[in-house]
Chains A and B, each alone.
Chain A
């Protein structure tokens, strides 16, 4: 069945470090891919998305490219800030409009 696997956390970085959070997926058909972020005490917020192969989603300095050949959608940011500390969820939505989420990766950014 469809599924999403993302790297386990927590990930601890210093401010201005480079961030990569790996995400791979298994799906039939042509899913859309998403990264959601959850700040402490808040709901899941859409960070970025990509709806077809080779699309790049970007927002707030974060980027992820839909790679069909490697079934991946890795999240990257060139220079993280303390305010980026949150839990990041990779997700896919399949052709039947069902969402499948990864287990989340907690990011801690230290000043």
Chain B
């Protein structure tokens, strides 16, 4: 069964460093998403991406964040200068349609730890 994959599973970085979190969505999907979950808190929407551009973003997704689909298979989330409060689990998701009835398929997540 096709699945969304994410690498790495755990990333440790120093405050101020740049990190890139990678996701490989399901191959025929067209809509891509990033969510994050700070430990013990809710899963929060960050951004959605379609047709090589951001379609929606939350107030969390500030200028420190960017997304890219560099090669037609990967979907990346870049944090330019990490802060302690960026420590969280980051989930990637994809869907084949934006329709409200369609399911989003989630990856296993990348745990980011900022020291």
**Which residues of A approach B to under 8 Å, CB–CB?**
4, 32, 36, 41-46, 49, 51, 89, 91, 93, 95-104
Given contacts A101-B42, A103-B40, contact A43 B98 (CB under 8 A): no
Q: Which residues of A contact B44 (CB under 8 A)?
A: 101
Q: Which residues of B contact A101 (CB under 8 A)?
A: 35, 37, 42-44
Q: How many residues in B have their beta carbons less than 8 Å from beta carbons of A?
A: 26
User: A99 to B100, Cβ gap below 8 A?
Assistant: no
Interface mask (B44-60 → A, CB under 8 Å = 1, otherwise 0): 11001000000010000
**Which residues of B approach A to under 8 Å, CB–CB?**
3-4, 6, 33, 35, 37, 40-45, 48, 56, 91, 93, 98, 100-101, 103-109
- A98-B56, A99-B45, A101-B37 given; name 9 further pairs at CB < 8 Å: A32-B100, A43-B6, A44-B43, A45-B106, A46-B103, A93-B100, A99-B43, A101-B44, A102-B42
A to B contact number (C-beta, < 8 Å): 55
| Interface residues of A, dominant DSSP | strand
Q: How far is the CB of A23 from chain B (nearest CB, A)?
A: 12
